[in-house]
Structure 1
Amino acid sequence: MATEGGGGMYPNGNENYLVAAMPPPGFYVLEYLIGYKADKLIDNSGDQIPLDFKVNVAAAATRLIWVTDQQLMGGQLALHVIAPILNVDVTVAERNQTQTGLGDMVLGAGLGYHASDKLHYVFAIDINTPTGSYDKNRLANLGRNYWNIEPLAAVSYIQKEGVNADLKVMYDFNGRNKETNYTSGQELHADYALGWGFGNGWVVGIGGFAYRQITDDTVNGSTVSNNLGQALSIGPTLKYDNGKGFFLTAKIEKEFAVRNRAEGSSIKVKFNIPF
């Protein structure tokens, strides 16, 4: 499977509306709830591998954001940390394992810009840390067991009534898993959302992600050929904003055009906790 175990540091499709709308200086808490399931493994030709395979992941990730008063290169400096709690259940053939606990935490810094009251953008860099439990002999792991650096850019176009559009583009540089001597290839991926605002706090539309592995994996110094991963997803999205500091986004997405990875579907919810 492309990238080690067919997975990656970032949960593709994680973001939705308001991805680049950095709020005023202050302290903020966002909560992400994710449910993902897959029962197909897809090969390099796009065909299903004949193997009894199932994976179910439930995640609750808390994101703490500090938007500072500091201006840097014309942008507002923000720092954040994400702590995901995971339940991972994997079945392959007649083997089944389940693990629950802390996953790989994320540390990051970004600069937010407001081109107008509608157009907002962010440039940032995230560092994914190997804090999740890992054992190369387990089916189910809570972490990837390597460091990852992920520069990113995001843009949001926001209206109470009319078109709403969001895009977050990321590029992953993966470190080496020291237990397996495996280095996953570099990855380019993007989350997107496109919807229509009805003027009453509600936005409804579509969203998903696009993913493509750019460079080959290596193991023990040798290239793993014909193994680049790819996937697309799409599904319905919505946003509700009460105009008083609370908002919620949600979407359901189905993966397709998959290569060298698991193919599945997910539901994702994001909401903020105002203080």
Structure 2
Amino acid sequence: MTHRTFEQNPRRWLTHCGIGLALLLSLSAPASADESGVSYWLPGRFSSLAATPQVPGWSMAEVYYHTSVSAFGTAAAAREIQIGRFPAAVNVNLNLHLNAQADLVLLNPTYTFATPVLGGQLAIGVTGLFGRASTSLDGTLTTAFGPLVTTRTGSISDSVTSVGDLYPQATLKWNAGVHNFMTYVTGDIPVGAYDPSRLSNLGIGHGAIDGGGGYTYFNPATGHEFSAVGGLTYNFKNQDTQYQNGIDFHVDWGASQFLSKQIFVGLVGYAYQQITDDSGQHPILGGFRSRVVGIGPQIGYLFPVGDMQGYLNLKGYGEFAAENRPAGWNTWLTFSISPMAPVSTVAPTRRMVTK
């Protein structure tokens, strides 16, 4: 079997393959954890080839994101507490079932600089989103009107179609052969649709800042790849509810095998763990630290679009080991377009043949 695809110009294909996947770092959307089951960080934002360099210039990624989750107990009660604004003395009933779905479109323009910064490649961008989220809460519902507290069995539901928060981001990446390293910083500008008395929101109601680092191993001669990115989120206080989420730790990873110069397949996964308690929460919730793990398949396809580079990726996650947050499944369909890497004018000096 001949591997001319990668060996003829490893740097070119390394750059091509990192373009679309690396753009995902700035994507964010309503996720489940922290206050009323909603966190800033969306697990799965990073995956394969996250730390590989890109081609300098403007690029654009568009993502269709779908999620479907459910929760019982405290994770469902937290949402009821939010919309009811219960006083601390109220004993909230935990016999509740929460279901939520979201269909979002995320747009991420990014500019990659040609001039090195600290010996690495700097890129900056911002992500905005538009979509629809719907939530229902079933079971024994507790309601409060001043000092009067009542309970009833039934359901309430809510949906919203609007725009979400803005998510600026910056990355700095370094390449050393098959090893690639990166650092990033991103955050939340809370300008999206948010109302603390509403079940469904597309904004989180508070600012946040997140930073971390990552590593990608990519061997262009064999097509083997593995990436992992870890980070921490600090959340600012929600001034509408006086609630502040704790610090979150997260790791996203991806592993893939290139079958040709255009197609790769593999696995993706994430682990999310809140490491400090929330503050301002109802006493029945305790520290309300959240946790979830997800894993699933992915497939990617690279193709030319005129004189630009096109990229399609489909990945999905099934969640398990959830605590204090809804869990379920989610899928990402990504299309990105970016500058085409220049064709090398140097003839290949060798050709690897694998038997």
Answer yes or no: same fold by TM over 0.5: yes
Find the partner of 1:142 among 171, 195, 202.
Answer: 202
Aligned to 1:170: 231
Aligned to 1:79: 124
Deviation at 1:69, TM superposition (A): 2.9
Find the partner of 2:302 among 241, 249, 257.
Answer: 241
Q: Which runs of 5+ in 1 are unaligned?
A: none
Deviation at 1:155, TM superposition (A): 2.3
Aligned to 1:61: 106
In the aligned structure 2, how far is the partner of 1:2 from the partner of 1:227? 9
Aligned to 1:262: 326
In the aligned structure 1, how far is the partner of 2:281 from the partner of 2:38? 19
Aligned to 1:151: 211
In the aligned structure 1, how far is the partner of 2:48 from the partner of 2:191? 28
Instruction: State the structure with more CA Rg.
Output: 2
Q: Say what the alpha-carbon RMSD is for the aligned residues.
A: 2.3
Deviation at 1:220, TM superposition (A): 7.3
Aligned to 2:243: 182
Deviation at 1:13, TM superposition (A): 1.2
Deviation at 1:56, TM superposition (A): 0.5
Point out the structure with the larger helix share: 2
Deviation at 1:271, TM superposition (A): 2.4
Deviation at 1:7, TM superposition (A): 1.8
Paired AA for residue 289 in structure 2:
L
SS at match of 2:230: strand
Superposition map of 1:71-220 within 5 A: 71-93=116-138, 94-116=155-177, 118-159=178-219, 161-219=222-280
Tell me the alpha carbon deviations over residues 5-63 of structure 1, each in whole angstroms, 9 at most, x when there is no partner: 1121122113322322231221111112210001233659xxxx752321001111111
In the aligned structure 2, how far is the partner of 1:220 from the partner of 1:37? 25
Paired AA for residue 314 in structure 2:
A
In the aligned structure 2, how far is the partner of 1:258 from the partner of 1:221? 20
Paired AA for residue 135 in structure 1:
D
Contact 1:38-1:262 at 8 Å conserved across structures: yes
How much identity, in percent, do the aligned residues show?
A: 24
Deviation at 1:199, TM superposition (A): 2.4
Q: Which runs of 5+ in 2 are unaligned?
A: 1-31, 76-93, 139-154, 340-355
TM-score (norm 1): 0.90
Find the partner of 1:253 among 314, 317, 342.
Answer: 317
**Structure 1 residues 179-188 or 149-158, which shifts more?**
149-158
In the aligned structure 1, how far is the partner of 2:278 from the partner of 2:208? 14
Contact 1:16-1:249 at 8 Å conserved across structures: no
Contact 2:102-2:134 at 8 Å conserved across structures: yes
Q: Does 1:230 align with 2:291?
A: yes
Point out the structure with the larger strand share: 1
In the aligned structure 1, how far is the partner of 2:219 from the partner of 2:191? 39
Aligned to 1:272: 336
In the aligned structure 2, how far is the partner of 1:26 from the partner of 1:149? 26
In the aligned structure 2, how far is the partner of 1:129 from the partner of 1:57? 20
In the aligned structure 2, how far is the partner of 1:249 from the partner of 1:155? 20
